[in-house]
Amino acid sequence: MSLYARALRYLARREYSRMELEKKLSDCEYAVDEIKHVLDKLEQQNFLSDERAAEQMVHVRGRKYGSKRLRYELQMKGIAEHIIDDTIKNFKQVEFSSAYALWNKKFGTAPSSSGERNQQIRYLLGKGFPFEVVSKVLDDSLEMDN
């Protein structure tokens, strides 16, 4: 199988960032120059796009994780900082609803003690949500119980 066909087969399954696909293809022992040439060709044909890869990842992982975690994961995939900023900016519009849905699924009721509140805060912070979003989720849960 040619390198180009192999790269297309990977891209048919899901979106990859350029760095991810380059690493995946380099595991197959192709020459570095040949890999870079194929990746350039795929980008020119719009088959490979870091923007689409970032959007897809945020769309899928944004249901479970907050903007801080998503930013970190995008950086690990080699996505450029300006693309990350744009993608996260769009995600921030729905981040509260994602955090609230996750909180509701896990806990469902407002904390009745400071220990419970701290547990819920740690859970949402651990999922990568900023403290402002976490506190708003918990404040809204208290208002709904009253």
Map out the domains of the chain as residue ranges: 1-48
| Chosen CATH of 1-48 out of 2.60.120.10, 3.40.50.970, 3.10.450.50, 1.10.10.10 | 1.10.10.10
On the 0-12 / 13-18 / 19+ scale of CB atoms within 10 A, 28 is exposed
Above 90 in pLDDT, residue 108?
Answer: no
* CB contact at 8 A, 95 and 129: yes
Computed from CA positions of residues 47, 52, 57, 59, in that sequence, does the dihedral angle turn out positive or negative?
negative
Per-residue pLDDT reduced to its tens digit, 13-69: 999 999 999 999 998 888 899 999 999 999 999 999 999 999 999 999 999 999 999
Radius of gyration of the chain (CA): 20
**How far apart, in whole angstroms, are the C-alpha atoms of residue 40 and residue 43?**
5
